[in-house]
Amino acid sequence: MVEIEAIDFNLRLYDPRVLKMKVITNVKIVDVNGNIVSLEPVSEREIEDMDDVIFDKEFSNTLLITFADLVHGEFEGVVKLYQIPENAQYIFKIYSVESNGKNVELIKICEMKKNSIVIKYYERLPELKEKDERIQEICSVAKLREEIVYKVVKN
Amino acid sequence: MVSQEEITEFRIDYRELAKASLEEIEKVAEKVRYKLIPKVNIDYKIYTKYTPELKDGEELITYTLSACPYCLSLLKAVIFKRDGKVWIRKKCPEHGEFEELYWGDYELYSRFRKWQYDGKGIANPHIDLIAPCPYNCGLCPRHKSHPALINLVVTNRCDLSCWYCFFFASKAGYVYEPTLNHIRYMLRQARKLRPYPAIALQITGGEPTLRDDLVDIIHIAKEEGYTHIQVNTTGIKLAFEPELARMLREAGTNVLYMSFDGVTPYTNPKNHWEIPYVLNNLRKAGLGVVLVPTLIKGYNDHELGDMIRFGLKHIDIVRGVNIQPVSLTGRMPKKERMKYRITIPDAIKEIEKQTDGKISRDDWYPVPTVAPISHFIEAITGRPQIELTTHFACGAATYIFKEDDGELIPITRFVNVKEFMKFLEEKAQEIQRGKTKYFVLFEALRKIPKFVDLSKAPKRLRKGKKIIKFLYNIFIRHSYDALGEFHYNTLFLGMMHFQDLFNHDVARVQRCDIHYVMPDGREVPFCSFNVIPEFYRDRVQRVFSYTLKEWEEMTGKKLLDLKYKRNIKKLIEGEAYRYHYEGIIDVSKIPYEDHVLASKKFGIPVIEE
């Protein structure tokens, strides 16, 4: 069974800039029949120094937060492990982000291939468009039906 | 796994690549790129488990990541306040503790920090994320700022042999000189970055004017979409070739970026004697220049005021003075480092002292201060704007207006920079939240005059409230046509403190907006390219280079024959020499023997015939 990791964290930065950020990642899959299933982690552990590349792959380009920022600030975080069912076709990572009091949700979509997981779509905080526009783009890039995307994102 | 030997021995036959098409160059570059990335436990180790502790009398500012100055391994570092200054300390399990002055004034550090804005990062990084920062540069997905200035090294040949430089060809043992096709590939590669590709290019070296095809390079840069082009030079060749200045200007060079370490032969043995002739030739060509002093404590910091006065005296052709506090390289003990170390606030305070407060510490702002201007114009126009979002500790700037009677007026004396930037940032955010642009523009129209104190503005900007009109044109009409007039008789003063391995801070690297494009297509922050040359500059350039023998055979030239020999007697006898330094130093008081000694000690031979 394929396993993936997701990260939740709280960060307070004072230098070089002031930032209070909280991120919770939810993982959902769309299976081959078009059903949407929310997954629960099978295990959790605290983030360690060795997680720097994992953390940066997850957040550096999307939230512009890097492991170096964690070192700079007060932070706590967990790495959650998810098992992906064999009938999964798409994995949705939905990041609920609270950044200096502003709430946004970012989406990343991966497609299950035979031997790999391919990133089909991801959103970046500094260039976030309106939700409807984003959903249209997701449908076109990931070749997903609009009602499925709406369900995943809204539910 | 790739071994250290494989990396250090690996090179391609550049004579073959020199004949290659753009597509073939791209293929080779992509193939080589990942091979050259520094490898953990081969090139460096990760020692981040150890967190340095604070000692008595020290106050924590923050922790960061840094590299060991000796083995380049990744370390945690602490940045702290002590005795009113800011320090950085790290400990390598193999090489011990390193403590360094990070910023010479905590008050200025606190004031500057308030201006930190982060950028939008890179939407399409050139390289995947496979190693920790700063070993993954390329740019990688971690990078927080888009490039503001791209550096392109066109040669590592130089006509000087400055004693401290290990970069030039004859010392490096190879000639790095990319072909025009390769240059086009690199420039095109740098322009691919989104959301905001670089439009400003610095052509650098070695000494770029040694390339016979420099004008062709400038044409290529224009074709690839670079709208601002500057050439980084010692100016030596331009002192003797007025035609070269004209050709550079006509090809599209906007400004020269010229080394200028002081006003005397003692402090500036590199090009003290040639500078007057360069300025004369630039005047004839109508090509402006930015003077670039590398500042070393106890060596030339006492001449800061004079360097600025020199710039002001020649304000017709000098566009700015951009001061670079020295980066210390090599294995240097702390005592010696402290002897030479000078930081941005130290230089700012020296300038305040040496200009009798005419340019005070309050006139300086960190580079990201201007980010709200970009945010506002982007919100109004809907088009991505260049954002200067470096780390606040990396650079500072101010702008000086010179009145006809010689009086100096820093821009901060008549524009309330703090409140104006605050206003622009608030309005940009209001538009982002959905407020109608026209309401915001109307409010800006009404409020802009409140940020200007006309009574303190330069006389020419007071007349007909010209300064207000300039601001309207820029912020309301987005018209930059009148900027030329606005800049008349103004001098930009800047500071850029490039890092070294002793004060190295990954937070600064990740925000860097001055990058180098490398022959393997990666784009690397200045302070990785030059601070860890073993992993970036030297490693990659060597791979794409000719051996000295290959180059000499190919060109029929001898590298050592190109070295400059200085005729001091002739230079100091010229009218241009006396005119340019008059009122700044008394040139008649410097004995000829001193001139000769200064030049020779620096490594530039003197001839008399």
Please report residues of B whose CB lies closer than 8 A to that of A52: 48, 132
B121 and A124: CB-CB below 8 Å?
Answer: yes
Give the Cβ contact number of residue B121 at 10 Å: 26
Chain A residues lying within 8 Å of B116, measured CB to CB: 16-17
CA-angle at B10, arms to B331 and B528, nearest 5° = 40
Q: Helix B275-285 and helix B242-251: axis angle, to 10°?
A: 50
- The token pair at B453 is 């104190």
Chain A nearest-CA distance from B104, in A, is 17
For residue B395, the surrounding DSSP H or E stretch is strand B395-402
Q: Residues B392, B368: contact at Cβ < 8 Å? A: yes
**B582 to chain A, closest Cα gap in Å:** 44
CB neighbourhood size of B269 (10 A): 23
| Cβ atoms B559, B175 nearer than 8 A | yes
CA B185, B187, B192 angle in degrees (round to 5)?
95
Q: Which residue of A lies nearest to B144 if distances are taken between CA atoms?
A: A64
Cα–Cα distance between A71 and A60 in angstroms, integer?
14
Candidates A50, A56, A57, A102, partner chain B, best to mutate (most B CBs within 10 A):
A56
Is residue B163 predicted with pLDDT exceeding 90?
no
pLDDT digits (tens, 9 = 90+) for B69-81: 999 999 999 999 9
What span, in angstroms and rounded, lies between the C-alpha atoms of A131 and B47? 43
List of long-range contacts for B166-169, beta carbons under 8 Å, 24+ apart: B167/B206, B167/B533, B167/B537, B168/B206, B169/B206, B169/B548, B169/B551, B169/B559
**Is A114 or B284 the better-scoring residue by pLDDT?**
B284
Nearest 10 degrees: Cα torsion B10, B15, B21, B25: 20
Q: How far is A61 from chain B (nearest CA, A)?
A: 5
* pLDDT the model gives residue B416: 97
**How far apart are the CA of B80 and the nearest CA of chain A, in angstroms?**
11
Q: To 5 degrees, how large is the angle CA B114–CA B342–CA B396? A: 35
Q: Please give the Cα distance from A82 to A30 (Å, whole number).
A: 15
User: Would the CB atoms of A61 and B142 count as touching at under 8 Å?
Assistant: yes
pLDDT tens sequence across B512-529 = 999 999 999 999 999 999
pLDDT at A11 over 70: yes
SS3 B542: helix
d(CA B452, CA B471): 10
Reported in sequence order, the residue ranges of B93-148 that DSSP labels E, i.e. its strands, are: 96-103
CB contact under 8 A, B63 and A72: yes
Chain B residues within 8 A of A53 when measuring between CB atoms: 129-132
A14 found inside a domain: yes
Which of A11, A15, A62, A122 to mutate to probe the B interface, most B CBs <10 Å? A15
Average pLDDT over residues A16-25: 97
Residue B119 has pLDDT above 80, yes or no: yes
Is residue A141 assigned to a domain?
no
Alpha-carbon span B177 to B205, nearest angstrom: 9
Better-predicted residue by pLDDT, B227 or B4 = B227
Residue B435 contacts residue B423 (beta carbons within 8 Å): no
Find, among A105, A79, A102, the residue nearest to A94 by Cα. Answer: A105
**Residue A151 placed within a domain:** no
Of the candidates B111, B140, B92, the residue with the CA atom closest to the CA atom of residue B504: B92
The count of C-alpha atoms lying within 13 angstroms of the C-alpha of B212, restricted to the half-sphere facing its C-beta, is 3
Q: Of B339, B273, B182, which Cα lies nearest the Cα of B587?
A: B273
With CA atoms as reference, report the closest residue to B371 among B414, B322, B420, B444: B420
Q: What is the pLDDT of residues B548-575, one digit of tens each?
A: 999 999 999 998 888 999 999 999 999 9
Who wins on pLDDT, A78 or B559? A78
More confident residue, B167 or A69: A69
Q: What distance lies between CA A43 and its chain's CA centroid? A: 17
SS3 B274: coil
Helix or strand (DSSP H, E) at B593: helix B592-602
Are B46 and A14 an interchain contact pair (Cβ–Cβ within 8 Å)?
no
Q: Please tell me the predicted confidence (pLDDT) of residue B8.
A: 66
Q: CA–CA separation, A113 vs A119, rounded Å?
A: 10
SS3 B306: helix
Range of the domain at A69: 2-128
Q: CB count, 10 Å around CB of B443?
A: 14
Whether A9 and A75 have beta carbons less than 8 Å apart is answered as yes
Per-residue pLDDT tens digits for B318-364: 999 999 999 998 888 999 999 999 999 999 999 999 999 999 999 99
B64–A71 CB contact, under 8 Å: yes
Q: How far apart are CA A58 and CA A52, in angstroms?
A: 10
The CA distance from A142 to B381, in Å, is 31
Query: How distant is the Cα of A129 from the closest Cα of chain B, in angstroms?
Result: 11
**What dihedral angle (degrees, nearest 10) is formed by the CA atoms of A15, A21, A22, A28?**
-120
- % chain B with pLDDT above 90: 89
Name the residue of chain A whose CA is nearest to B508's CA. Answer: A16
Contact yes or no for B130 and A73 at CB 8 A: no
Q: Please state, in angstroms and rounded to a whole number, the distance separating the CA atoms of residues A139 and B200.
A: 37
Cβ contact (<8 Å) for B506 and A126? no
pLDDT band for B489, please (50, 70, 90 cuts).
Answer: confident
The residues of B whose Cβ lies within 8 A of any Cβ of A are 46, 48-49, 61-65, 76, 79, 113, 116-123, 125, 129-133, 140-142, 144, 195, 391-393, 506-507, 510-511
Judged against a pLDDT cut of 80, whether residue B7 lies above it is answered with no
Specify the DSSP class assigned to residue B25: H
When pLDDT is cut at 50, 70 and 90, the band that residue B6 belongs to is low
- The residue type found at B100 is E
| Number of domains observed in the structure of chain A | 1
Report, as an integer, the average pLDDT of B595-604. Answer: 95
Name every chain B residue with its beta carbon within 8 A of the beta carbon of A126: 119-121, 195
- The continuous run of DSSP H or E covering A10 comes out as strand A2-13
**What confidence tens digit (pLDDT) does each residue in B249-282 have?**
999 999 999 999 999 999 999 999 999 999 999 9
Residue B166 pLDDT > 80, yes or no?
no
Contact residues on chain B for A127, CB-CB shorter than 8 A? 120, 123, 195
Query: Is A136 inside any structural domain?
Result: no
Query: Residue A120 domain-assigned?
Result: yes
Nearest to B519 by CA among B64, B84, B156, B118: B156
pLDDT of residue B3: 61
Mean pLDDT, all residues of chain B: 95
Q: What percent of chain B has pLDDT over 70?
A: 98
Q: Contact B592/B569 with Cβ under 8 angstroms?
A: yes
In this prediction, residue B525 carries a pLDDT of 98
Binned at pLDDT 50, 70 and 90, residue A145 comes out as: confident
Q: For residue B5, is pLDDT > 70?
A: no
pLDDT band at B537 (very low <50, low <70, confident <90, very high): very high
DSSP annotation of B127: S
Q: Find out whether B535 and B43 touch, Cβ atoms under 8 Å.
A: yes
Average pLDDT over residues B389-410: 96
- Which residues have C-beta within 8 Å of that of residue B405, sequence separation ≥ 6? none
ipTM score assigned to the predicted complex:
0.94
What amino acid occupies position B535? F
Cα of A72 to nearest chain B Cα, Å: 5
pLDDT digits (tens, 9 = 90+) for B180-223: 999 999 999 999 999 999 999 999 999 999 999 999 999 999 99
pLDDT of residue B306: 98
**Chain A partners of B144 at a C-beta cutoff of 8 Å?**
64, 66
Nearest to B80 by CA among B46, B112, B53: B53
Q: What are the backbone dihedrals phi and psi of residue A117, each rounded to the nearest 5 degrees, phi first?
A: -115, 125
Please give the Cα distance from B476 to B470 (Å, whole number).
Answer: 10
